[in-house]
Amino acid sequence: MSKFEKSRWADSEFSQGYRDDADIFLPFRGQFIEVSKSLYGHFISQNPEAKVLDLGCGDGLFVQELSKSFKPSKVILVDGSAEMLGAAQKRLSGQDGYYFIQASFQQLFADNTLNESFDFIYSSLAIHHLPFDEKKKLYAYIYERLSPGGWFIHYDVVLPPSEKLEKWYLSFWREWITGHPSEERREQLLGIPDQYKGNLDNMPDTLGSQLEVLKDVGFCNVDCFYKYGIFSLFGGSK
C-alpha cells in the first residue's frame, strides 16, 4: 500500500508547484472538467438535494467549476495534503454547504469517515497512486457510498496496453507542453513526462483492467467518456 505521508504530495513545495503549473502540463484539463460537468448536468442536476464527494480534491478547481453551473445541496472535499486542502478552502471560501476533510484513502478505509451516500463522486489524478488491489478496494468503497442512480467519474492517468503506444502517448504529451508561451518555463516542464514514468508513487493500471473492475463491483453504464493519450475520464453509475 502506498502511504500518502511518504509520497511527494505531503511536501508543501511540491504541492505548490503542481498548482502553479497544472494547466501547462496537464493536456486539455479544461475539457476533461467540461465533460464531467456535462455528465453531472445531464444525469444529476435535476435533483435539488444532490450531494457531491470529491476524492483527492486538490485545490478544489473541479468543485469551483461545477458550482458555476450547478448548486449541489452538499459537497464534501477530501484530500490527504493539508497544503492542497488549504488551497481548496481558500478557493471556495464563502460557499455554503462545503465541507473539507483531510484524509488519505487508507484513512478513509480504516476510519469509516464517510458514512453517508452521494449522488456524484468525482476523483481527479489521485487514484493512480494506489496499487491495483487498493484501486479495487476503493472502487468497491465508492460504489457502496453512491446513491441508487448516482455516478462515479474518474479523471486520471492510465497505463497503455503496450510499450509502443506508451511511447507515442508520452511524445504528444511533450508536444502539448511545447505549446507553453514562455521558452524558459517550457524547457523546465518538458521533463515532466519522464519524471512521471520514473516516480515510484505512480502506479497506473490499464484502462481496460479498471473498467472491468468497475463492472465486477456492480457499476452500470461503465465507459470511457473522454481520452487523450494516458489521460482518461471514465466511470459508471449505480
Q: pLDDT in tens for each of the 238 residues of the chain?
A: 344 444 443 444 434 444 567 777 899 999 999 999 999 999 999 999 999 999 999 999 999 999 999 999 999 999 999 989 999 999 999 888 999 999 999 999 888 889 999 999 999 999 999 999 999 999 999 999 999 999 999 999 999 999 999 999 999 999 998 886 667 777 888 888 999 999 999 999 999 999 999 999 999 999 999 999 999 999 999 9
Distance CA 9, CA 128 (A): 13
Cross-sheet strand order for the sheet of 146-157:
98-102, 74-79, 51-55, 118-124, 146-157, 231-237, 220-228
Parallel, antiparallel or unpaired: strands 118-124 and 220-228: unpaired
Task: Report residue 155 as a C-alpha cell.
Answer: 479523471
Helix or strand (DSSP H, E) at 215: helix 207-217
Q: Name all domains of the chain by residue range, CATH numbers in brackets.
A: 4-160+203-237 (3.40.50.150)
- Model pTM? 0.90
Distance from C-alpha of 228 to C-alpha of 19, rounded to nearest angstrom: 21
